[in-house]
A = this chain, B = another copy of it.
Amino acid sequence: MEFKVNSKELEKHLNRVIPAIPSRTPMPILENFLFDIKDGLLTIYATDLEISLKSSFGIAADGDIDALIPAKLLHNVVRALGDTSINFEFTENGKLILKTDNGVYTLSFLGTADYPEIPDFPGDKLGSEELQELIINGEDLKSALDKSVFAIAKEEMRPALTGVLFEFSDEGLRFVATDGHRLANIIYKKYKLGEEEKKRYIVPERAVSVVIKALDEKDVKIYLSATHISFVMNDMELITRLIAQKYPDYSAVIPLENEFTMKIDANVILDVVKRMMFFSISGTKKIKFSISESKLEISAEDIDRGASADETLECEYNGEPLDIGFNSMYINDILSHLTSEKELIFNLHSPTKAVVITPVEQKEDVELMMLIMPVRLNN
């Protein structure tokens, strides 16, 4: 069985699918690409049992085959070949022979009998009531995931928090991520499922990270069931199991009556926080905001090394003078994801109450909000 393919075209598809190849696994069979060739269509699969990726394109083949091919070796060879035509030949004795103008590369391939079953999603669910479908602009989705995924919980103590919540309601599509210390919340008002009922899905961190890298400006089709989500991007598809947990009621932590507002330049405050991080390195990594009418003073102290830092910025503030502490890493994380904004509003109430950060100018049809819990100042 033989087929021909251009090396650059093949490389593009291997690049898309290889993120699902596990780097260490007790199941070495997962270190292979599954090549499924049928009626001139080559579909390349990879899975680490958590996420599955597949990418398809038409080839000139003289037959059909299913085969497992060592992923890393094939990827390395194809990437190193430059722009050339490659002839693939699968022999009866389990050899895969790649031929170019000057070279012959022989790999071993395996049959697919022992490979785990590839989830056929939404395949068997198509047309069922349980299945939800939605089309999202690629840049909207990329922006929403990028601005939320940093806030998810890193430890597995609360599995629900290790993913990004996709929540559909009559407000639109809301993305939420939180680890209890900070929270990211973005609503895209134009994406709705057309149902009154609120629907919630928790997408695991790894799937989100892979999707972010694959997205471009093109539309994405999303299929959702109670157990799975699939992202269909052009000729590539990612399927993952959802986190089967109840997401906590994040809205309970969002303060509604933070009456003090501070307006400040988004990039200036980030630069200051980055400098303060060199001094807030021990314990709770605390930095202190001292806010008065037109001035924000940010300070940090490294007692162990006898070092401290103090900077004063201009701001607009309408409240009572307030001292409040933050973990510098958490505030840096939030501000680093708001650099495309010009000015920010901090909504505050007291040194112990959550602070809400929003851009002064929201993008059309979008509501972006970040929240951070303060840390105690020991005065």
Contact = CB atoms under 8 A, between A and B. Distances in A.
B82 A271 contact: yes
A157 interface: no
Given A271-B82, A305-B108, A278 B310 contact: no
A80 to B, nearest CB: 5
Interface stretch (A45-53, A98-106, A160-168): A98-106
A275 B103 contact: yes
B309 A105 contact: yes
Interface in A196-215: none
Contacts of A131: none
A313 interface: yes
Interface string A75-86: 011001110000
A308 B80 contact: no
What copy number does this chain have within its complex? 2
Interface string A87-105: 0000000110000001111
A102 B313 contact: yes
A313 B105 CA distance: 15
Nearest to A108: B306
Given A102-B312, A102-B313, A312-B102, A107 B307 contact: yes
Interface string A302-327: 00011111111100000000000000
A70 interface: yes
Contacts of A108: 305-307
A70 B102 CA distance: 58
A53 B102 CA distance: 51
A305 B80 contact: no
A274 interface: yes
Given A76-B278, A278-B76, A278-B77, A305 B70 contact: yes
Interface in A215-265: none
Nearest to A311: B103
Contacts of A311: 102-104
Given A80-B271, A82-B271, A308 B105 contact: yes
A238 to B, nearest CB: 27
Interface in A47-83: 70, 73, 76-77, 80-82
A309 B106 contact: yes
Which range contains the number of A residues in contact with the other chain? 20 to 34
Nearest to A301: B106
Contact of A312 (B103, B105, B279, B307): B103
A166 to B, nearest CB: 37
A356 B21 CA distance: 42
Given A76-B278, A80-B271, A107-B305, 16 more contacts: A70-B305, A73-B278, A73-B305, A102-B272, A102-B313, A103-B272, A103-B275, A103-B309, A103-B312, A104-B309, A105-B279, A105-B307, A106-B306, A107-B306, A107-B307, A108-B307
A106 B271 CA distance: 18
Contacts of A313: 102
Contact of A106 (B73, B82, B307): B307
A31 to B, nearest CB: 11
26 contacts: A70-B305, A73-B278, A73-B305, A73-B307, A77-B275, A77-B309, A80-B271, A80-B275, A81-B275, A82-B271, A102-B272, A102-B311, A102-B312, A102-B313, A103-B272, A103-B275, A103-B309, A104-B309, A104-B310, A105-B279, A105-B307, A105-B308, A106-B306, A107-B306, A107-B307, A108-B307
A106 to B, nearest CB: 5
A308 B70 CA distance: 13
A70 B307 contact: yes
